[in-house]
Amino acid sequence: MARKFLYFVAGMVILVLAGAFVYQVYGDDLMEVAFVPDTEFAAQEVLETNVYADTAMWLARPELVKDNPALWLPEGYEDSEPALPETGKAAVFFVHPTSFLKKDHWNAPLDDEESQDRARIFLRGQASAFNAVGQVWAPRYRQATLGAFLTEKPEGQRALDAAYQDVLAAFDYFVGEIPSDQPIILAGHSQGSLHLTNLLKDRVAGTPLATRIVAAYVVGWPVSVDTDIPEMGLDICEAPDQTRCIMAWQSFAEPADYGRIVKVYDMTIGFNGEPRKDSKLLCSNPVNGDVNSSSPASANLGTLVPNDDLSEASITVGSVPARCDPRGFLLIGDPPELGPYALPGNNYHVYDYSLFWANIRADARRRMAAFPAR
């Protein structure tokens, strides 16, 4: 029963995990009262990089085998391709989305079991897409609480900045632990992808690390082609066998209503200091592995569909199409029946990975195969 309850909670929680953009469109005063902390912001002690030498600071890493959520596979699923040799695998750095909802702290305490349990569930459906091509490293971090996205108080941004410092510490440790020539895959979702956009700008752009990145999957967070990509150190993935590139998408069923999201997005400033207004969003098509394209449902290798009690998921092949629209949103046709957790406006943010789980898995494998020999 506890396991079933956690799956239910995770599903309900993720309804409101779309981040600042979705909240500013759909949020209201009630949400702020319910989730925004009414306590003072307490500056966190900066974690030393060696803190991440402790395996307890990771939700997933190579030494963790028992109950590692990133090793999960859908019920009855078997890879059609042979397993990669260990020497040919990447190291995958995955940053999970928001799982802390309480309002007694601006940042999640590391000993908060409820948010950690939710984070493990998220890894099952997201980070698992990469376990065929690499060993997944997924750090625990003092993520910003959900309420940090629901307010204009300066404490909200301070909480996000503090969370990002943990992600940086984890990443620096990760880079120091893996072989100096091992390929790297970066991936995340929602708040995790927000942190990855900054990490690419601050740790990858203009450094030798850029040559080791197979691909960066910055999913569920808006990325401006004009004002963000030039500062992130990698090109856009324009072809399915391209490497050292970035993929990003935001999923909407049709008819899609994202006009108010665009209104908020157009008020923000990009990484190059220029307004994002009227700039195109990066829209990768995870079915084709390219950008600004269309694909029929028959090309979808498999969507994760949960069972009735949400305790497992199975793969449904050929059920969801994908096409990028002119502004840069990924449209998936008629609303698929994946559960009751779609956001207003036919926003399928919750399912950004689930919709294309098998294609993401194949995409990562294809890019690994194309990655220049070490």
| Residue-level pLDDT at 28 | 47
Helical H runs in the chain? 2-14, 20-26, 29-35, 113-125, 154-177, 191-199, 259-265, 357-370
Say which amino acid occupies 233.
G
pTM: 0.90
DSSP 164-202: HHHHHHHHHHHHHHS-TT--EEEEEETHHHHHHHHHIII
Full pLDDT tens readout for the chain, 374 residues = 333 323 333 343 444 444 444 444 444 455 566 677 677 777 878 887 789 999 999 999 999 999 999 999 998 888 888 878 777 899 999 999 988 676 777 777 888 888 888 899 889 999 999 999 999 999 999 988 777 777 778 878 888 999 999 999 999 999 999 999 999 999 999 999 999 999 999 999 999 999 999 999 999 999 999 999 999 999 999 999 999 999 999 999 999 998 877 887 898 899 999 999 999 999 999 999 999 999 999 999 999 987 765 567 889 999 999 999 999 999 999 999 887 778 788 999 889 999 999 999 999 999 999 998 65
The pLDDT tens digits for 79-111 are 888 878 777 899 999 999 988 676 777 777 888
Domain count, the chain: 1
| Residue-level pLDDT at 343 | 78
Q: Residue 343's domain spans which residues? A: 2-370
| Residue-level pLDDT at 32 | 63
Say which amino acid occupies 283.
C
Can you name the residues that pair with 144 across neighbouring β-strands?
107
